[in-house]
Amino acid sequence: MRRSPKETEDSARLTHRRALLMGGAMTAMFAVLGARMRYLSVDQADQFKLLAEENRISIRLIPPARGLIQDRNGKLLAGNEQNYRVIITREDAGDVHAVLARLAYVIPLTAEDLDRTAKEMQRSSPFAPITVADRLTWEDLSKVALNAPSLPGVSPEFGLSRIYPRDTDFAHVLGYVGPVSEKDLEGLDKPDALLTIPKFQIGKIGVERWLENDLRGKAGTRRIEVNAVGRVMRELERVEGDPGADIRLTIDADVQNFVQARLGDESAAAVVMDVTNGDVIAIVSSPSFDPNLFVRGISHTDYNGLMENDHRPLANKTVQGVYPPGSTFKMVTALAALKEGVISVNTTIRCPGYIEFGGRRFHCWKRAGHGQVDLERSLTESCDVYYYEIAQKVGIDKIAEMGRALGLGIRHDLPMSAIAEGVMPDKAWKLASQKAEWRIGDTINASIGQGYVLTSPLQLAVMTARIATGRAVVPRLVRSIDGRETAVPDAPRLEIGTEILNRVRAGMFAVVNAERGTAKSSRIVDPDMVWAGKTGTSQVRNITAAERARGVISNDQLPWNRRDHALFVGFAPYDKPRYAVSVVVEHGGGGSTAAAPIARDAILRAMSDGLPPLTAYPASQRNRIEAMLAKLPLRDATGRAPTPTRA
Active site residues per annotation: 327
Q: Amino acid letter at 114? A: L
DSSP alpha helix (H) spans, 130-170:
138-146
511 close to 379: Cβ distance less than 8 angstroms? yes
Instruction: Please give the Cα distance from 519 to 510 (Å, whole number).
Output: 9
The string of DSSP codes covering 223-254 is EEEE-TT--EEEEEEEE--BPPPPEEES--HH
Q: How far apart are CA 7 and CA 13, in angstroms?
A: 10
CB 457 within 8 A of CB 582: yes
Whether omega before 156 lies within 30 degrees of 0, making that bond cis, reads no
Write the CA distances from 425 to 323, 403, 422, integer angstroms.
14, 9, 9
Measured CA to CA, the distance from residue 406 to residue 403 in angstroms comes to: 5
The 10 Å CB-count burial string (b at 16+, else e) for 452-481 is bbbbbbbbbbbbbbbbbbbbbbbbbbbbbb
Task: Tell which phi-psi region holds residue 217, choosing left (phi > 0), alpha (psi between -120 and 50) or beta.
Answer: left
Instruction: Count Cβ atoms below 10 Å from residue 627 Cβ, excluding itself.
Output: 9
Contact indicator for 361, 355 with CB cutoff of 8 Å = yes
What's the rounded Cα separation, in Å, for the pair 398 and 334? 11
C-alpha 373/C-alpha 575 separation (Å) is 25
Helices (H), 434-497: 440-447, 457-469
Yes or no: say if 277 and 579 are a contact pair by the CB < 8 Å rule.
no
Beta strands in 397-528 (DSSP E): 478-481, 484-485
Distance CA 160, CA 52 (A): 35
Q: Give the pairing of strands 201-203 and 220-226.
A: unpaired
Consecutive H or E run containing 285: strand 280-286
By C-alpha distance, which of 419, 420, 421 is closest to 410? 421
Secondary structure tally for the chain: helices H, strands E: 24, 21
Rg (CA), the chain: 37
Q: Strands 247-249 and 69-70: what pairing? A: parallel
Backbone angles phi, psi at 131, to 5 degrees: -75, 120
Rounded distance, CA 602 to CA 259, Å? 6
Question: In sequence order, what are the beta bridge partners of 280?
Answer: 273
Cα distance between residue 208 and residue 79, in whole Å: 11
Cis peptide before 527 (omega within 30 of 0): no
Distances (CA, A) of 383 to 275, 337, 348, 630: 28, 16, 12, 37
CB atoms under 10 Å from CB of 344, counted, come to: 12
